[in-house]
A = this chain, B = another copy of it.
Amino acid sequence: MTKLARHARILEIAAQEGGVSVTELARQMGTSLMTIRRDLEELAKGGKLRRTHGGGIPVEPDVARFQFSRKQHICSAQKRAIAREAASLVKPGMAVSLDTGTTTLAVARELSGIKGLTVLTSSLPVASVLHQRAECDLVLLGGAARRNSPDLVGPLTEDNLKRFRVNLAIMGADAITRDGSFANDTGVARICRAMAENAEGVVLVADSSKFGRTAFARCLGLDEIDHLITDDGCSPASEVWLREAVAEVTLVHPARPRTAGGEGEAPAAGADEQVSSGGGGNCAV
């Protein structure tokens, strides 16, 4: 085996496996360790590989990243609990649409593992979470990219939505009042309405901080919402009118840790950076 052949093979393996080890390569190619080291050194010098102790890894994997404002750590425990509840409504094989927002993003994270899903979304973060999940068909709605927000709006998005029917639309809101759910952006509100129109069931996910505040654009009337999922932090008064107007209301209790997995989630809204020790349970976003 010639040097160039080894180099090519090393790069191939590195790309495929995500990394190579000197000892493993030497064994595989029947050469000495020193030879492999010299190979790696050369490849690293040429920028084709990143050298590590004991081996090498491919150069920076290419990522497309969409950055957006960082306000998402707010109410993370509540959002996580709400998201779990919402995800429990999604059954294998369903088609669901997710609109933009931090809470729906949390839902997307919880959807992993549900098989045979088809997900329709206008949110790039949601798409990013579900992309490459083997069990999920992902359809990204077209549209104009909002400048400071990684999601798509506009007539194209709305028209695209008309082409699909989903079992469940899971949507967020910036504010909820007796008059319905509201968003700060009219484009987003229109998407929200379009999603609701093309879904059998409409689920609204929103932490309790959304009650009693107000936002610019109306999305949905409370009577259009089939199921509202929020946390137990809303005022008793709100709960009364909610239960009157919305077909089904679920209050989740984020503070109370759940059995499986053992996640002791940080309770307070102020504790934005707590990563609890337990299982992977740390949804800082």
A145-162 residues at the B interface, CB under 8 angstroms: 145, 147-148, 150, 152, 154, 156-157, 160
Is residue A38 within 8 Å, beta carbon to beta carbon, of the partner chain? no
Stretch from A15-23, A169-177, A244-252 contacting the other chain:
A15-23
CA distance A150 to B66 in the complex (A): 13
Q: Which of A20-76 contact B (CB under 8 A)?
A: 20-24, 47-48, 50, 52-73
Task: Give the interface size bracket for A toward B.
Answer: 35 or more
User: Looking at A1, A24, A64, A157, which has the most chain B CB atoms within 10 Å of its CB?
Assistant: A64
Closest 3 interchain pairs by CB? A142-B142, A19-B282, A64-B128
Alpha-carbon separation in the docked complex, A280 to B55 (Å) = 10
16 contacts between A and B (CB under 8 A): A2-B54, A8-B57, A8-B61, A21-B277, A21-B282, A22-B277, A53-B275, A57-B273, A57-B284, A58-B70, A59-B73, A63-B66, A64-B125, A139-B143, A140-B143, A142-B157
A64 to B20 alpha-carbon distance, docked (Å): 21
